[in-house]
Amino acid sequence: MGQTDPATRPTSARKDGFALGLATPGARVGVTEITGNNPALEKRLEAMGIRVGSALEVLQHEGGSVIVRIGTTRLALGVSMAHRLRVASLDLH
């Protein structure tokens, strides 16, 4: 009973999520959270089409960048930005 605290249950997606920078190429992930209280970063990501609920496909890790596809658009995200995006796998099958 102590391990299944009801107060932590609604955030189970966050607990099970991981930083986008840790996703492997070919993974399909959904953005669950943008960490850090940085409105400028959130605005920049939104301008690129990335927000909580967005589906991304990780194409590759190139140097310090993570290249993702959102819809038909390819984006290169710096490692710092990629680690601020918490994601969960969409490949549940």
| Architecture in CATH of 9-89 | Roll (2.30)
Number of neighbouring beta carbons within 10 Å of residue 30: 16
- The tens digit of pLDDT for each residue in 49-92 reads 999 999 999 999 887 789 999 999 999 999 889 999 999 999 76
Output the CA–CA distances (angstroms, integers) from residue 26 to 41, 59, 63, 91, in the order listed.
25, 6, 17, 10
Q: Where are the domains of the chain?
A: 9-89
Tens digits of residue pLDDT in 3-59? 433 333 333 334 468 999 999 999 999 999 999 888 999 999 999 999 999 999 999
pTM of the model: 0.78
